[in-house]
Amino acid sequence: MEKIKVTIIGAGNVGTHLAKRFFEKKIEIIQIFSRELQKAEILAKEVEAKATNDLTKINDLADVYIVAVKDDAIEMVARQLPFKSKLVVHTSGAKSSKVFESHIKNYGVFYPLQTFSISKEANFEALPICIFAELASSQLILNQLAKRICPNVYVIDDEQRATLHVCAVMVNNFTNFMYVMAEDILNKEQLKLDILRPLIQETVNKIQKYPAQLMQTGPARREDKQTISQHLQFLEKYPDYHKVYELLSESIIQKYK
């Protein structure tokens, strides 16, 4: 296909970053949908597209329709689209492509495996995009589209993506929550997270070069039981964090037995 045109449904974190990247790479964006017209208009203006807040007004001029809405709303959006045979994809790591099955004939997934926030720039040169389509011809179109915005494109089926997503939650969401817990405790104890930033950075540096399993350190890895008890005693005033600390320490001890 010579020039792929896209329509983006959802003007949140992912919809916004994809729209901006497509625009930067001179891929024509036909429409931007958000339930909030003003939100759709702001993004549409930036990427020279038309805005709508009405799913029934999504036209058939695009080649690929990217549904970048919250996981639980994907099926409901698909049900309301005024066509059945256009190529429609979602951007979710967790949802099966089969979520479209009852409403759309030609469907797939366009999953950029990264953490996106509207306010933070995204580096499409470094992230992977996982694509999948039911039809081989659609897979070719998605591959061509993904390659225009990102050098790292993988064909990943539903089952593989579900596994990747579980692990993505572990390495990003859970890791970040560790920082949230630490920040909370440090703030309450009149200390600052800044002093831990070099440690956080080195943890990430090591994992880029070495197997994670070899890089594990700390009291649970050494089975320093007195230190673990001392930490658990300190955490008694933070009962939720106490539970997390205890569970993770136990899991580390078991892993290295």
Q: Which residues bind ligand NAP (CB under 6 A)?
A: 10-15, 34-36, 39, 68-71, 73, 76-77, 91-93, 111-112, 114-116
154 neighbors 129 (Cβ within 8 angstroms): yes
Nearest residue to 32 (alpha-carbon basis) of 18, 59, 51 = 51
Q: Which is nearer to ligand NAP, 61 or 169 (CB)?
A: 169
User: Whose Cβ is closer to ligand NAP: residue 71's or residue 240's?
Assistant: 71
Q: How far is the CB of 16 from ligand NAP (least distance, A)?
A: 7
Residue whose CB is nearest to ligand NAP in the complex, by number:
12
DSSP states of 219-247 as a string?
A: HHHHT-HHHHHHHHHHGGGSHHHHHHHHH
User: 123-138 in b/e burial notation, b at 16+ Cβ within 10 A?
Assistant: ebeebbbbbbbbeeeb
Q: Which single residue is written with the structure tokens 């036209």?
A: 59
**Two tokens, residue 121:** 């720039």
Nearest distance from C-beta of residue 241 to ligand NAP, angstroms: 24
Closer to ligand NAP by CB, 34 or 106: give it: 34
| Least distance from ligand NAP to the Cβ atom of residue 127, Å | 9
Tell me the closest approach of the beta carbon of residue 186 to ligand NAP, in angstroms.
26
205 burial (CB, 10 Å; 0-12 / 13-18 / 19+) is exposed
DSSP state of 99: G
Q: Which is nearer to ligand NAP, 9 or 228 (CB)?
A: 9
Query: How near is the Cβ of 93 to ligand NAP at its closest, in Å?
Result: 5
| CB closer to ligand NAP, 173 vs 229 | 173
